[in-house]
Amino acid sequence: MIDERELAINPIVPDSVRHNGQVIAQIRSLTASLFGIAAGILGLESYPGFLFYLFGTIIVSGLIWGVLAQGKPERFFESQLSGLWGRDVFGGLSSFVLTWTLFYGLVRS
């Protein structure tokens, strides 16, 4: 938990937090579509396809944590759990399924 002294030194600006959330949403949407394309081309079906998406989003979250947030997500998000690891994971699922089925159909037909 962030104490009062830390907030005085590094204040959380709502506009910056909102912008960070939008950047994360764009990254997750794009990578979900790319994972869908890869899963369709690889011909994954059912549970292996969803596990592919799950592992892919975990890797992307780790990269966001390590590269974009520089290992300190509390500086960029109000809540590390919802801001970094939980936000838009299920929102990207629909993009994943759409591109997965499209490319699976294109490759397998």
d(CA 35, CA 42): 10
Rounded to two decimals, what is the model's pTM? 0.78
Q: With bands split at pLDDT 50, 70 and 90, how would you rate the model's confidence at 87? A: low
Burial 70-99 (b: 16+ CB within 10 A, else e): eeebbebbeeeeebbbebbbeebbebbbeb
Residue the block writes with tokens 């994972």: 35
Structure confidence at residue 47 (pLDDT): 95
Model pLDDT for residues 64-81, shown as the tens digit of each residue: 888 877 777 776 666 666
Model pLDDT for residues 9-67, shown as the tens digit of each residue: 666 677 777 887 788 888 889 999 999 999 999 999 999 999 999 999 989 888 888 88
CB atoms within 10 A of CB 62: 12
Structure confidence at residue 34 (pLDDT): 96
Contact 51, 39 (CB under 8 A): no
